[in-house]
A and B are shown apart, each in its own frame.
Chain A
């Protein structure tokens, strides 16, 4: 699985990036400041127990650990590629934890944090990025669909899925809704805009969750839009909200409300999670070619984990033992993921003929037999030698 960020061409001076910073402007929903101070918002009351906050913190730490471990594994040649979520943990955990068990999420290739929230073992993701499986999890089991790389395509699948839910009449408190993830760059794609139209016209129970991480490989946000992305929703006929994507509380509250609105038959919502891609586009990209280090420094001050930690310390909800416990758990998880990755068996060559169609196919059976004979010819050569 690959995400197109390859290649090291020669370094050239990149254009200075001009996009604005996510200050706490009136249009940005924020419930926890970068300093870890709880703030309120009239539309998004959020009551969290100390245990719930601690659970969110644990998610953030573990998800980051999966990411750093995977980057290391890729560097060591154990994975083909990795698309890092660094910096986007709060957007993914906040929205992921807002989902109910019957909801369905449609991810891009970067939603490892959402996968975690949907109970998907990170080892399953690594099978994909190591290249030993096609990603063999059952989306229905986890409410988590396939990773999608062709930009924007999943927004249509999600809208179609949502219209299926609508037909099934799964509405109300126990109803179902769909969330679809995509990036700032994807908002330029025709598929995405057509998904907006369909969702709007048919009032589909779908939440469009855009992680605006400011970059689409080497292209900055101003190559995609001249207005804030969330403002586009209005033109399509549904509400758009910008949330501090590095604030897990705000992402949770905003997504929860939007999902419930969808279940209640109020149609789609567009959520722009304003965040930043702290790492490279993928492990094969080198962002120093096109963006300024100062931008990264500014965003470091808004780290999604640190603010929750500061909050927990400030309120006395968690002690040193808690933080040490979470760190220990992350270490164990990292080790488990690493070992599992290194010991994954390679698939057998004849598996290439599996699953092309839902049932056997005469042409493929003939090709399989021919290929098996070809493989056997090596075996008999070895015996002969």
Chain B
């Protein structure tokens, strides 16, 4: 498979531009219109429209029967989502912050993720667990984690991590239609919210049509030849900014891979790119150790370490909690400065 045919997203029509938040809500709305089994559960998802806007307008359109504000009880509403999915519904359950998975982890990884397996394939749990991740806006240790590595580590659930509006909509549609539990993790920084520092990439063209973006396919967000930057979610924005700037200022050509899905992981697209560039930088806003960055590096090491012309470089969150203090938070996050530094280290080696 060549780099382009495995990785480039299928061309999508439409020039309408939406924020990622609106694109997510539109994807959900279209599926709710198409399929009466789809409904949404979560805290402040009704009149509030979701703390991060992912359910904006749904209450008005579908009413409180299908858009349900829940008591503050994550174990309950994730567990109830499982029950409803088993009964034949298609629940979308919003966990306000990925950080709160701790409250309900038994339901998530012992039940949602394993019922299909332990039932010998007799019982399916086709639900979407949608949750907000990431930091960068001063929200402290318990509200800023990405944690996608944790979810991806546990078998039985798919994990998607869109970085832009079109993918956010298409992946939501795929997640709803999927026969497996899908953990849908959006970074607050890609949502295009008016009150958050905004990267222009959080607003983009979104097709009107209800087309899927396939789960398990990475995208080449930018083609290049000197080094491969494998990244995901908000870090894709930063990586593209750095790539543009370094191309202009230093004549460095970076190829940026947007993973889009972690489970399943599109290892082929990673390998094809590294085969071309011979250099790999992994940028991940999750903790560095035991996570996505290690998995990507292992993929190359296991398949063909000989294709690497330099040691792999990782730019991730050091192994500390995300601090609340702004200057400290800036220090731990893999922002443009640290990515640039990583590129220099990679190319110097």
- Taking Cβ atoms with an 8 Å cutoff, the residues of A that contact B are 1-2, 4-10, 12-15, 80-81, 128, 131-134, 149-152, 185-186, 188-191, 216-219, 223-224, 284, 289-290, 346-349, 351-353, 356, 363-364, 367, 371, 374, 377
If A149-B142, A363-B289, A363-B319 touch, whether A218 touches B328 (CB-CB below 8 Å) is: no
Helix, strand, loop or mixed for chain B's interface?
loop
User: In the complex, what distance in Å separates the CA atom of A13 from the CA atom of B102?
Assistant: 33
**Selected interface stretch from B51-59, B151-159, B170-178, B300-308:** B51-59
Q: How distant is the Cα of A133 from the Cα of B318 in the complex, in angstroms? A: 19
CB distance from A191 to the nearest CB of B (A): 7
Pair A9/B49 contact, Cβ less than 8 Å:
yes
Least CB distance, B127 to chain A, in whole angstroms? 20
Residues B318 and A219 in contact, CB atoms below 8 Å apart: no
B332-349 Cβ-contact flags toward A at 8 Å (1 or 0): 100000100100000000
- Residues in A with CB closer than 8 Å to B46 are 15, 218
The interface residues of chain A, by DSSP majority, are classed as loop
Cross-chain contact B325 with A134 (CB below 8 angstroms): yes
In the A-B complex, the 4 residue pairs with the smallest Cβ-Cβ separation, listed nearest first, are A188-B71, A349-B331, A218-B48, A2-B139
- Nearest-neighbor residue (CB-CB) of B79 within chain A: A190
Residue numbers in B under 8 Å from A150 (CB-CB): 99-100, 102-103, 142
Residues of B near A80 (CB, < 8 A) are: 138, 324, 326
Q: Is the CB of A12 within 8 A of B318?
A: no
Binary interface encoding of chain B residues 256-276 relative to chain A, with 1 for a CB under 8 A from any of its CBs, else 0: 000000000000000000000
B143 and A9 contact, CB distance less than 8 A? no
Q: Which residues of A contact B330 (CB under 8 A)?
A: 349
In the bound complex, residues from chain B placing their C-beta under 8 Å from that of A188 are 71-73, 76
Docked-complex contact A374 and B318, CB < 8 angstroms: no
Q: Contacts A131-B324, A132-B325, A150-B100 given; 14 further ones with Cβ under 8 A? A: A1-B140, A2-B138, A6-B51, A12-B49, A12-B60, A134-B141, A189-B72, A217-B43, A218-B69, A224-B71, A289-B47, A290-B47, A351-B325, A367-B318
Knowing A218-B44, A349-B327, A349-B331 are in contact, say whether A7-B73 is a contact too (CB < 8 A).
Answer: no
Nearest B residue to A290 by beta-carbon distance? B47
- The answer to whether B193 and A189 touch across the interface, beta carbons within 8 angstroms, is no
Fill in one digit per residue for B151-188: 1 if any A CB lies within 8 Å of its CB, else 0.
00000000000000000000000000000000000000
Choose one: B195, B319, B332; the contact of A364 (CB below 8 Å).
Answer: B319
- In the complex, what distance in Å separates the CA atom of A347 from the CA atom of B329? 11
Q: Which of B141, B195, B319, B328 meets A6, CB within 8 Å?
A: B195
Given A7-B195, A131-B325, A190-B75 in contact, is the A15-B47 Cβ separation under 8 Å? Answer: yes
Give the residues in chain B near A356, CB-CB below 8 Å: 319-321
Contact in complex: A219, B323 (CB < 8 Å): no
Chain B contacts for A4, CB-based, 8 A: 51, 96-97, 143
- For residue B121, CB closer than 8 A to chain A, the reply is no
Q: In the complex, what residues of B have CB within 8 A of residue A9's CB?
A: 48-50, 53, 56
A139–chain B nearest beta-carbon distance, Å: 17
Minimum CB–CB distance from A380 to chain B (whole Å) comes to 13
A contact residues around B341 at 8 Å (CB): 374, 377
* B194 located at the interface, meaning its Cβ lies under 8 Å from any Cβ of chain A in the complex: yes
A40 smallest CB distance to B (angstroms): 37
30 residue pairs of the A-B complex, CB under 8 angstroms, read: A1-B140, A1-B324, A2-B138, A7-B53, A7-B195, A8-B195, A9-B53, A10-B56, A80-B138, A131-B138, A131-B329, A189-B74, A190-B73, A190-B103, A216-B43, A217-B44, A218-B44, A219-B44, A223-B69, A224-B72, A284-B195, A346-B326, A346-B327, A352-B323, A352-B332, A353-B318, A353-B320, A364-B319, A367-B320, A374-B338
